[in-house]
């Protein structure tokens, strides 16, 4: 049983995604690592305080944190889904993506620094 089982989606939810509430809970408890796959100029313009920058253009799953499950985020959800596929191919079972991206994060009240 992995950590994400605690945040198991219900109904028709996509098991590759994590909700805003579950992401916030995971970050607050330091149970997940947030990885932003946007380009450096996008990251520098504003990101979640806890995020680590690993741009998709040079994304290597070997650079992902291994001490806790990983949540990938981008601007709107497309690049993080691509990074998730690469992470899964490399064996990262405990990885998800935040479909809303930074747009959804900010709209939901997430802090941007």
Q: Is residue 98 part of a domain?
A: yes
Q: Is residue 54 part of a domain?
A: yes
pLDDT digits (tens), the chain, 113 positions: 455 555 444 444 688 999 999 999 999 999 999 999 999 999 999 999 999 999 999 999 999 999 999 999 999 999 999 999 999 999 998 999 999 999 999 999 999 99
**Residue numbers of the domain that contains 58:** 19-107
Q: Looking at residue 43, what is its pLDDT?
A: 98
Number of domains in the chain: 1
Q: Is residue 2 part of a domain?
A: no
Q: Is residue 103 part of a domain?
A: yes
Q: Is residue 1 part of a domain?
A: no
Listing DSSP states for the chain in one string gives --GGGGG---TT--TTB--HHHHHHHHHTT-SEEEE-S-HHHHHH---TT-EE--GGG--GGGS-SSS-EEEE-SSSHHHHHHHHHHHHTT--SEEE-TTHHHHHHHTT----
Q: Is residue 9 part of a domain?
A: no
Q: Looking at residue 112, what is its pLDDT?
A: 97
- CATH number of the structural domain spanning residue 32: 3.40.250.10
Q: Is residue 29 part of a domain?
A: yes
Q: Is residue 37 part of a domain?
A: yes
């Amino acid at each position: 049983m992995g950590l994400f089982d605690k945040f198991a989606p219900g109904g028709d939810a996509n098991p590759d995604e994590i909700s805003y509430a579950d992401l916030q809970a995971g970050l607050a408890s330091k149970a997940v690592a947030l990885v932003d796959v946007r380009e450096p100029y996008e990251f520098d313009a504003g990101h979640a305080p806890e995020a680590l920058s690993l741009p998709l253009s040079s994304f290597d799953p070997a650079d992902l944190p291994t001490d806790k499950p990983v949540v990938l985020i981008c601007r709107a959800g497309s690049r993080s889904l691509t990074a998730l596929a690469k992470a899964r191919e490399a064996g990262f079972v405990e990885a998800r993506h935040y479909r809303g991206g930074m747009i959804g994060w900010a709209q939901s009240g997430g802090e941007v620094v």
